[in-house]
């Protein structure tokens, strides 16, 4: 995919525990170095965040589309396929999803579900790698982080759609006393699906109702929006034939969200129930992500913090 030759001092001292300096020559952008140096590059950061929006090519490597991060540790590959539990599962690395071996500028990865894949390894800069799969003619770009300085808040706010879909339902667990009476006061359960660009259902069943017994009273399309404030997301619930509700959306933790109903100034909290953990089994391998650029609302924060 590239033609020019580059010379990189890849990751410098970061690659080695000693003061040795590792220089890696890229010929046609392939790292021309030993298998050991390629492995050192892959292990130089705890977490490699897959910047899916930067992906180049029309092909697809399934496990790369599902994972938020990959980690390479002494021949084993770990992935964070869920946002829930991110930073805690596997000491932050996620779950064991396969094995890898390195050659000169190449990594062979054997995924437990998706099988064997070979990638050419390119150094873009001292914290970014490109993994290029020739079979699909597709490049994935990975940004390196140590677990101690990973921006978990940013992860959640950049991937809120996926977070909302990691629980079977969200149950209303708190309603503020302050706020005007409105119809959403009666709705106690929400669930979100990726179908048709974003589909939701809501229920007025009593709190504590078993998930399997819930009756879904309303449905429609939902949207998560960016705003002028990088830390503020908004949520719209567009009910079929019934108008819509507009909220400011805040993440309290990985099982609780806050919805601030702007028209009524009511604060609601919802707690996730029925966590869907994406494991290595074929029936729960995880949702494939896609390139996402949320639509933007020209609004300012109304919730008083």
Domain boundary assignment for the chain: 6-150, 165-284
CA distance 122 to 105: 7
CATH architecture of 165-284: Beta Barrel (2.40)
Place of tokens 């599902």: 66
Distance of alpha carbon 196 from alpha carbon 221, whole angstroms: 8
What is the tens place of the pLDDT at every residue in 39-59? 999 999 999 999 988 999 989
Task: Pick 223 or 197 by higher pLDDT.
Answer: 223
Whose CA is closest to 26, among 132, 109, 101? Answer: 132
Q: Which long-range contacts (CB under 8 A, 24 or more apart) does 160-165 make?
A: 160/224, 160/233, 160/249, 160/251, 161/192, 161/194, 161/198, 161/224, 161/292, 162/83, 162/287, 162/289, 163/83, 163/84, 163/251, 163/254, 164/192, 164/224, 164/257, 165/192, 165/193, 165/194, 165/276, 165/287
Angle at 101 between CA 133 and CA 3, to 5 degrees: 35
Q: Six-digit token pair at 11?
A: 């990751």
pLDDT at position 37: 87
pTM, rounded to two decimals: 0.78
Taking the C-alpha atoms of residue 132 and residue 56, their distance in angstroms, rounded to an integer, is 9
CB atoms within 10 A of CB 236: 18
Tokens 């300096």: give the residue: 21
As to burial, measured by CB atoms within 10 angstroms (0-12 exposed, 13-18 middle, 19+ buried), residue 15 is buried
- Name which residue leads in pLDDT, 196 or 4: 196
For the ranges 75-89, 108-122, 182-196, 272-286, the one whose mean pLDDT is highest = 108-122
pLDDT tens figures, 123-140: 888 889 999 999 999 999
pLDDT band at 279; cut points 50, 70, 90: low
Report whether pLDDT(70) > 50: yes
**What's the CA dihedral at 159, 214, 236, 155 to 10 degrees?**
-10
What CA–CA distance (Å, rounded) separates 110 from 224? 35
What are the beta bridge partners of residue 270? 172, 257
Cβ density class 245-259: b for 16+ within 10 Å, e for less: bbbbbbbeebbebbb
pLDDT for position 44: 92
Contact 293, 53 (CB under 8 A): yes
**pLDDT digit string, tens, across residues 6-41:** 323 344 434 443 333 344 443 445 555 678 889 999
């Amino acid at each position: 995919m590239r033609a020019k030759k580059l010379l990189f001092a890849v990751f410098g001292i970061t690659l080695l525990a000693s003061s040795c300096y590792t220089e890696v020559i890229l010929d046609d952008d392939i790292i021309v170095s030993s298998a050991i140096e390629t492995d050192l590059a892959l292990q130089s950061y705890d977490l490699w965040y897959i910047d899916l929006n930067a992906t180049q090519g029309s092909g697809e490597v399934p496990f790369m589309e599902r994972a938020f991060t990959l980690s390479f540790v002494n021949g084993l590959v770990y992935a964070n396929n869920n946002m829930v539990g991110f930073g805690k599962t596997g000491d932050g690395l996620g779950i064991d999803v396969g094995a890898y071996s390195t050659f000169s500028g190449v990594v062979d990865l054997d995924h437990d579900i998706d099988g064997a894949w070979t990638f050419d390894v390119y150094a873009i800069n001292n914290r970014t790698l490109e993994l290029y799969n020739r079979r699909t003619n597709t490049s994935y770009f990975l940004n390196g982080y140590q677990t101690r300085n990973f921006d978990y808040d940013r992860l959640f706010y950049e991937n809120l759609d996926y977070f909302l879909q990691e629980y079977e339902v969200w149950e209303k667990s708190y309603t503020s006393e302050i706020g005007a009476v409105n119809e959403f006061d009666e709705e106690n359960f929400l669930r979100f699906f990726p179908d048709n660009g974003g589909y939701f259902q809501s229920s007025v069943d009593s709190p504590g109702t078993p998930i399997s017994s819930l009756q879904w009273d309303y449905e429609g399309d939902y949207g998560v929006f960016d705003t002028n404030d990088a830390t503020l997301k908004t949520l719209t619930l567009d009910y079929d034939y019934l108008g819509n509700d507009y909220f400011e959306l805040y993440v309290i933790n990985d099982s609780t969200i806050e919805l601030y109903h702007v028209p009524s100034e009511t604060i609601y909290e919802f707690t996730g129930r029925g966590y869907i953990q994406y494991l290595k089994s074929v029936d729960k391998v995880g949702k494939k992500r896609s390139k996402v650029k949320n639509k933007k609302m020209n609004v300012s924060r109304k919730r008083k913090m």
